[in-house]
Structure 1
Amino acid sequence: MFLHRETNTLYVADTNNRRIQMFTLNSRSSTGVTVASNIDSMSGIYVDDDGSTMYVALRYENRVEKWIKNALNGEQIGDQCKQCTGVWVDKEKNVYMTESGTHSILKWSPTTNTKITVAGQTDELGQTADKLYFPRSIYINRLNDALYVADMMNNRIQKWNKNSQEGITIAGSKDGISGYNDSKLASPFHVWIDEESDVVYIADSENNRIQRWLPNELTGTTIAGGAERGNANNQLSLPNSLAFDNLGNLYVCDGHNHRIQMFVLIENQTCPTSRSHPLFTK
């Protein structure tokens, strides 16, 4: 799932239906428009600023594809990306790819057509600061080029400053152990950053909740879900993606419930309460 804030449009990887659906949030309709189809094993989407180009991570196809608006097929970029589970683009149009199969993050330059490793050690999993263990989603802060990684099997979120050789644990476990209390995460799938405040939001998948983590804090706060796994409006089932619109409303891809949930953050408080309703369902 990707929320294109410039146009207030939501893009959803409808994986089992092998298509990408677009929902205009300015409309009250919950009917989507298919903007790409016949795509296998989608695991991440990024939509460029002008809305005309999509980048799609294809996990079991081991690649990222670039889709131009109205195209019938995508074009592979950046050569192979083993078990590719995440994709993001920086302000220079470099494409970052999560190569989960080698426990590393790659950066591909469209200018030079070269690819380098920018986080993790290729084919070396581990819990130390220089390593990752089956990473999932990534996020680039365009204000400072910091790279954030949902380091799933290490149950943590890592921040890699530009040109750094090591990551910093900013949320979750420092020992790789999962947990359900406020200081722990369990298989975090997705990370989203408020770029100005550095507040981190996490799809804490196995805990069926969305966590909010302030800078330099040792614990997070649950802002959605967390009421055990289920399909009620206050429950989630293996959430795998999240995003905020320009009004501060939270959108969650509620994976095993086959729906997108919108959580209205009441009064947009610093530590908000929330109420939810299903926005789009399968």
Structure 2
Amino acid sequence: YLYVSDTEKHEVRRYKFGEKIGTLIAGGNRAGAGLNQLNYPTFLFVDRDRSVYVSDYYNNRVMKWNKGSKEGIVVAGGQGQGSALTQLYHTNGLFVDMLGTLYVADSWNYRVMRWTQGAKQGTVIVGGNGRG
């Protein structure tokens, strides 16, 4: 499969080889902050269970969409933009390891955050001291 984030339609689609329309996986309900919405989805990570993690850039959060679900789960951020350990400020690249630990580039805070599965706040693992 090929997974594509569409920043203009605020959705993520999955394509099989040769498909032109694809299957809606996440979002697709206009820009917004609801659990069934995204606002400028950027980077994606797909785990072995085909759950899709989405950097929801303007909502300052990372969402997890389990296979077949109509709503996502906030797994990091979602507390408004900011620099507290519960907040993110414009999420970018992300990775999820075999234990379900999320690593996310928190771009406007100039740091990389680690969120263990089920955590209410993250840990700064790189940066966080401003630009440079």
In the superposition, the TM-score normalised over structure 2's length comes to: 0.91
Whether 1:193 and 2:46 are equivalent positions in the alignment is yes
Whether 1:173 and 2:28 are equivalent positions in the alignment is yes
Distance (whole Å) between structure 2 residues aligned to residue 251 and residue 274 of structure 1: 14
Whether 1:264 and 2:119 are equivalent positions in the alignment is no
Matching residue of 2:13: 158
Matching residue of 1:219: 71
Matching residue of 1:48: none
Distance (whole Å) between structure 2 residues aligned to residue 278 and residue 198 of structure 1: 27
**Paired AA for residue 56 in structure 2:** D
1:85-133 per-residue CA deviation (whole Å, 9 max, x = no partner) reads: xxxxxxxxxxxxxxxxxxxxxxxxxxxxxxxxxxxxxxxxxxxxxxxxx
Q: Which runs of 5+ in 2 are unaligned?
A: none
Given that 2:86 and 2:120 are in contact with CA atoms closer than 8 Å, whether structure 1 keeps it comes out as no
Distance (whole Å) between structure 1 residues aligned to residue 38 and residue 99 of structure 2: 27
**Structure number with higher relative contact order (C-alpha < 8 Å, ≥ 6 residues apart):** 2
Distance (whole Å) between structure 2 residues aligned to residue 245 and residue 213 of structure 1: 16
Matching residue of 2:95: 243
Using the TM superposition, give the Cα deviation of residue 246 of structure 1 relative to its aligned residue in structure 2, in angstroms: 2.9
**Paired AA for residue 41 in structure 2:** P
Q: Which has the larger radius of gyration?
A: 1
Distance (whole Å) between structure 2 residues aligned to residue 150 and residue 215 of structure 1: 16
| Pick aligned residue for 1:279 from 110, 117, 125 | 125
Matches within 5 A, 1:137-156: 146-156=1-11
1:135-161 per-residue CA deviation (whole Å, 9 max, x = no partner) reads: xxxxxxxxxxx0001111110001111
Q: Please provide the CA RMSD for this pair.
A: 1.3
In the superposition, the TM-score normalised over structure 1's length comes to: 0.44
**Paired AA for residue 123 in structure 2:** H
Percent identity between the two aligned chains = 30
**Paired AA for residue 152 in structure 1:** T
Distance (whole Å) between structure 2 residues aligned to residue 158 and residue 241 of structure 1: 18
Distance (whole Å) between structure 1 residues aligned to residue 58 and residue 75 of structure 2: 15
Matches within 5 A, 1:44-193: 146-174=1-29, 177-193=30-46
Distance (whole Å) between structure 2 residues aligned to residue 274 and residue 232 of structure 1: 12
Using the TM superposition, give the Cα deviation of residue 274 of structure 1 relative to its aligned residue in structure 2, in angstroms: 4.1
